[in-house]
Amino acid sequence: MASFSQQTYASRGERHQHPVAKQLFATMERKQSNLSLAADVSTKAELLALADKVGPYICVLKTHIDVISDFDTDLVEQLQALSIKHDFLIFEDRKFADIGNTVKLQYGGGVYRIADWAHITNCHVIPGEGIIQGLAEVGVPKGRGLLLLAEMSSKGMLATGAYTDKNIEMAVRNDFVFGFIGSRRFTEERDLVTMTPGVGLHASGDALGQQYRTPELIITENGSDVIIVGRGIYGPGKDAVAEAQRYREAGWDAYLKRLE
């Protein structure tokens, strides 16, 4: 059978066993979008306004909920309503990194109660496989999904070689995991999704080590599935709707090209 990256999102979604991957692929196909917005703004009003404006063009809204200075439960309710209105999934980019027992408390409880509203979250596997098991105890009953940070986009990142390989092994054997953060397709053993941050059409990076690559390199050549774009869409002087449309088109064209 052809590599998963040669198959359509629709057919991968139909066959997928993971509820979140199924939902994600179906959303991507419906909206013809493999674009995720990294909405790194710092107030509730800015986040809601951005999600409402850009919502029609994305498959996933990625949040860092702990940077919102005036977080409250109403924000979460409004984000959930926008996720239904515009048909996108919510990904809280929490990057859990502690022992299983602690991440269970952090994922299910605290101020943010992430598992109650985020379809997707992610973790580092630096503590070992217990982190996945701890998160799964909270997330599986709620129908959530987990991504492993197999690589990062920043200069000098240490997630390489044997560490990346360990991520792949753990992802393959843990059903709660449906994919990775990274720059490419990692395995054919299971249809694991890759979502890639550090994507930009114009800039090559920022002053703090971020590195940007194009949608074509990431989707067509590397076989990743979703591009994650932040400042390229909402950065200073940008028209967020126009940029979201541009990235959506670039990401989708790159996907169609790889199916050829």
Q: How far is the CB of 214 from ligand BMP (least distance, A)?
A: 13
Q: Judged by CB under 6 A, does residue 40 bind ligand BMP?
A: yes
Closer CB to ligand BMP, 40 or 87, in the complex? 40
Q: Where are the beta strands (DSSP E) in the chain?
A: 35-38, 60-63, 89-96, 120-123, 145-149, 177-181, 193-196, 226-229
Between 26 and 248, name the residue whose CB sits nearer to ligand BMP.
248
Q: How many residues does the chain have?
A: 260
In the complex, the smallest distance separating the C-beta of residue 215 from ligand BMP, rounded to whole angstroms, is 12
Closest-CA residue to 37 (of 180, 182, 248, 239): 248
Say how far residue 161 (Cα) sits from the centre of its chain: 22
215 binds ligand BMP (CB under 6 A): no
Check residue 197 for interaction with ligand BMP (CB under 6 A).
yes
- Return the number of other C-beta atoms located less than 10 Å from residue 203's C-beta: 12
Specify the DSSP element, H or E, that contains 102.
helix 100-108
> Is residue 179 near ligand BMP by the rule CB under 6 A?
no
Please say which residue, 114 or 181, places its beta carbon nearer to ligand BMP.
Answer: 181
Instruction: Write out the catalytic residue numbers.
Output: 95
Task: Identify which of 80, 76, 88, 125 has the alpha carbon closest to the alpha carbon of residue 103.
Answer: 125
Q: Which of 26, 37, 38, 218 binds ligand BMP (CB under 6 A)?
A: 38
- List of residues contacting ligand BMP (CB under 6 A): 38, 40, 64, 93, 152-154, 181, 197-198, 210, 228-232
